[in-house]
């Protein structure tokens, strides 16, 4: 089936569904911008689209299943409208590649994690020849994408900027290095140029993205390290706030920690995944630090800036995790008192080291541990939020609140969401708000 295109300038409609982490969100935004140059406009209703792009995640088995059920649901639509182009991108696309075209006859394009910039060429070929294609090599270079950000998808107050791709850490549970390739940093001047162009589009806050931002710039001669990049970005005029994610505890440097004290634009919040409170499990995960080392880091961070918020990721039921190991994770939560926590049941992933480890934990045990962990964290989060009541804090107003009504929503420097009544012209402003209820 070929795409009918009567006139070169006629707008075509794209629908994008994004799963997974911020890096996928960023890639989806870039795709929309790239296709904007090809006369594509975004539609909210997938049934009206000429191109449907599903950007997938495969970090846990459930994420992979979600990707396939999302794809599966398009079967009838494609049968009724053969001219529709169905594309699968992201980490599931990278994981299976061409194989997907065999397994899913209604799928037209498979776009790997390094191939977003290839989509116009893939579409052009599809239109002429009707060839279904998979592009999953790791040949991507940052320079492949258009410079700067011409017209962000939606006018936003806060935007993501990817500063590096891939990961070389090989934590034993993790599939990311296999589907995102080896670590590569984006040249600092490109990052800064992109931040500048976002400011021109009205953005006030940027979040710098990478699987492990602490190792930014390593390996490129003459390049700055991550602290140096932060200093450069902080000089961009008109930028109110800088955030970054994710940091790996094993190489969180003193210089980077000092940025929290030295750079007023840097928000006092760090996402520092700990994964487990047990040294035995941390070792089996190949995380490269101990519980003590982690606790020391948190103390040093708080010494640098006492109001710094710390959030984290935790995995329960990693192979070999005993009740005692798990209790060490619970105790770590009590000790650190995270401001927020994402927690997951361990999930076996293809090509990872942990898949081959013995001591797999039963599903019910994992579930029970997850519930205990989450109940404990919920109490801590609530207590920490309650401690904010009566305080006035600066909120960057992002837009209408999800809770509806005439409420607006924004975030505190520590990344807490605040809902409040106010006039829509406050969007994009940083204003003091009195917290009345947690």
**Interaction site with ligand SAH (CB under 6 A):** 59-60, 173-174, 176, 211-212, 246, 248, 273, 275, 313, 315, 344, 346-347, 349
What CA–CA distance (Å, rounded) separates 414 from 142?
31
Task: Supply the minimum distance, in Å, between the C-beta of residue 209 and ligand SF4.
Answer: 12
Distant-in-sequence, close-in-space partners of 303: CB < 8 Å, separation ≥ 6: none
Mark the segment that binds ligand F3S (CB under 6 A) among 175-183, 188-196, 286-294, 422-430. Answer: 175-183
344 binds, among ligand F3S, ligand SF4, ligand SAH, none (CB under 5 to 8 A by kind): ligand SAH
Cα–Cα nearest to 18, from 8, 9, 31, 4: 31
Residue pointed to by tokens 């989509």:
119
Mark the segment that binds ligand SF4 (CB under 6 A) among 155-163, 165-173, 233-241, 372-380. Answer: 165-173
- By Cβ distance, which residue is nearest to ligand F3S? 20
315 binds, among ligand F3S, ligand SF4, ligand SAH, none (CB under 5 to 8 A by kind): ligand SAH
354 binds ligand SF4 (CB under 6 A): no
Mark the segment that binds ligand F3S (CB under 6 A) among 21-29, 136-144, 157-165, 320-328. Answer: 21-29
209 binds ligand F3S (CB under 6 A): no
Q: Note the helical H segments in 51-200.
A: 61-72, 75-80, 90-96, 99-103, 119-129, 176-180, 188-200
Cβ proximity to ligand F3S: between 58 and 247 the closer is 58
60 binds, among ligand SAH, ligand F3S, ligand SF4, none (CB under 5 to 8 A by kind): ligand SAH
What CA–CA distance (Å, rounded) separates 311 from 268?
11
Bridge partners for 417 per DSSP: 411
- Decide: 305 and 333 in contact? Cβ < 8 Å: no
Cβ proximity to ligand SAH: between 174 and 270 the closer is 174
Bridge partners for 259 per DSSP: none
239: left (phi over 0), alpha (psi -120 to 50) or beta: beta
Site track for ligand F3S across 46-75, x = CB under 6 A: -----------xxx----------------
E strands in 7-72: 12-18, 40-42, 51-56
Mark the segment that binds ligand SF4 (CB under 6 A) among 39-47, 107-115, 162-170, 316-324. Answer: 162-170
Cα–Cα nearest to 89, from 148, 34, 158: 34
Q: What is the DSSP string of 347-358?
A: ---TT-SGGG-S
342 binds ligand SF4 (CB under 6 A): no
Cα–Cα nearest to 311, from 336, 339, 287: 339
Residue 148: CA count within 13 A, CB half-sphere = 9
57 binds, among ligand SF4, ligand SAH, ligand F3S, none (CB under 5 to 8 A by kind): ligand F3S
170 binds ligand SF4 (CB under 6 A): yes
333 binds ligand SF4 (CB under 6 A): no
176 binds ligand F3S (CB under 6 A): yes
395 binds ligand SF4 (CB under 6 A): no
């Amino acid at each position: 089936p070929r795409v009918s295109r009567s006139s070169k300038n006629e707008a075509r409609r794209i629908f994008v569904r994004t799963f997974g982490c911020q890096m996928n969100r960023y890639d989806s935004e870039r795709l929309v911008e790239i296709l904007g140059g090809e006369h594509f406009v975004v539609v909210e209703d997938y049934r009206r689209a000429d191109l449907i792009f599903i950007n997938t995640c495969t970090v846990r088995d459930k994420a992979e299943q979600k990707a396939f059920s999302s794809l599966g649901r398009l079967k009838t639509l494609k049968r009724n409208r053969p001219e529709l182009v169905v594309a699968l991108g992201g980490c599931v696309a990278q994981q299976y590649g061409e194989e997907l075209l065999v397994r899913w006859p209604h799928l037209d394009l498979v776009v790997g994690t390094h191939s977003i910039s290839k989509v116009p060429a893939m579409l052009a070929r599809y239109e002429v020849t009707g060839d279904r294609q998979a592009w999953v090599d790791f040949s991507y270079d940052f320079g492949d994408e258009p410079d700067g950000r011409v017209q962000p998808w939606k006018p936003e107050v806060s935007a993501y900027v990817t500063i590096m791709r891939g990961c070389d850490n090989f934590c034993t549970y993790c599939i990311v290095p296999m589907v995102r390739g080896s670590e590569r940093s984006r040249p600092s001047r490109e990052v800064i140029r992109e931040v500048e162009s976002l400011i021109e589009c009205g953005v006030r806050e940027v979040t710098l993205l990478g699987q492990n931002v602490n190792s930014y710039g390593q390996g490129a001669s003459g390049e700055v390290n991550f602290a140096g990049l932060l200093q450069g970005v902080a000089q961009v005029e008109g930028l109110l706030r800088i955030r970054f994610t994710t940091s790996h505890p094993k190489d969180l440097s003193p210089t980077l920690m000092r940025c929290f004290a030295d750079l007023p634009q840097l928000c006092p919040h760090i996402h520092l995944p700990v994964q487990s409170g047990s040294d035995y499990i941390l070792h089996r995960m190949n995380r490269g630090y101990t519980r003590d080392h982690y606790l020391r880091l948190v103390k040093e961070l708080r010494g640098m800036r006492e109001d710094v918020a710390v959030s984290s990721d935790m995995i329960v039921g990693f192979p070999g995790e005993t009740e005692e190991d798990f209790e060490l994770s619970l105790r770590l939560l009590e000790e650190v008192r995270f401001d927020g926590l994402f927690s997951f049941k361990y999930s076996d992933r293809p090509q990872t080291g942990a898949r081959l480890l013995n001591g797999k934990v039963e599903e019910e045990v994992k579930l029970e541990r997850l519930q205990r962990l989450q109940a404990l964290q919920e109490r801590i989060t609530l207590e920490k939020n309650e401690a904010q009541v009566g305080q006035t804090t600066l909120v960057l107003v992002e837009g209408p609140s999800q809770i509806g009504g005439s409420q607006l929503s924004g975030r505190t420097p520590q990344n807490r969401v605040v809902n409040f009544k106010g006039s829509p012209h406050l969007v994009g402003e940083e204003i003091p708000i009195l917290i009345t209820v947690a």
